[in-house]
Amino acid sequence: DGGITQSPKYLFRKEGQNVTLSCEQNLNHDAMYWYRQDPGQGLRLIYYSQIVNDFQKGDIAEGYSVSREKKESFPLTVTSAQKNPTAFYLCATEDSRSSYNSPLHFGNGTRLTVT
């Protein structure tokens, strides 16, 4: 069953700790994205990757890091340098080689709470 798996669904951390959010996909999509959503707001792009071993900063990359060692995986690390890490994090993929008519596909998200 093809899809995007984000884990864990809920994550609690103490301030000052780094934390890694997992995103795995078996859709064979080339492009992967991380977005952050704050309550009552839209999505803001953190990082994106179009191919393995390559990724670019989005609009709010400070305090975050990513890696893309495999096509299927795009983990996001929220570092202690991120001032307000509590948010809902969404991973998305896109089949960038197919029809330009294809949308982004989203995982179910990870809700991170830092206290």
Partner 1 sequence: ELKVEQNPLFLSMQEGKNYTIYCNYSTTSDRLYWYRQDPGKSLESLFVLLSNGAVKQEGRLMASLDTKARLSTLHITAAVHDLSATYFCAVDIRGYQKVTFGTGTKLQVIP
Residues that bind partner 1 (CB under 8 A): 31, 33, 35, 40-45, 48, 50, 56, 58-59, 90, 94, 96, 100-109
Q: Is 22 helix (H, G, I), strand (E, B) or coil?
A: strand
CB closer to partner 1, 14 vs 84: 84
User: Please, what is the minimum distance in Å from the beta carbon of residue 28 to partner 1?
Assistant: 17
Nearer to partner 1, 45 or 63 (CB): 45
Residue type, 80: S
Closest C-alpha among 52, 63, 60, 1 to residue 29:
52
| Minimal distance, residue 80 CB to partner 1, in Å | 27
Torsion angle, alpha carbons of 79, 59, 75, 66, to 10: -70
Q: Whole-number minimum distance, CB 9 to partner 1, in Å?
A: 10
State which residue, 37 or 80, has the beta carbon closest to partner 1.
37
Cα-Cα end-to-end distance for the chain: 36
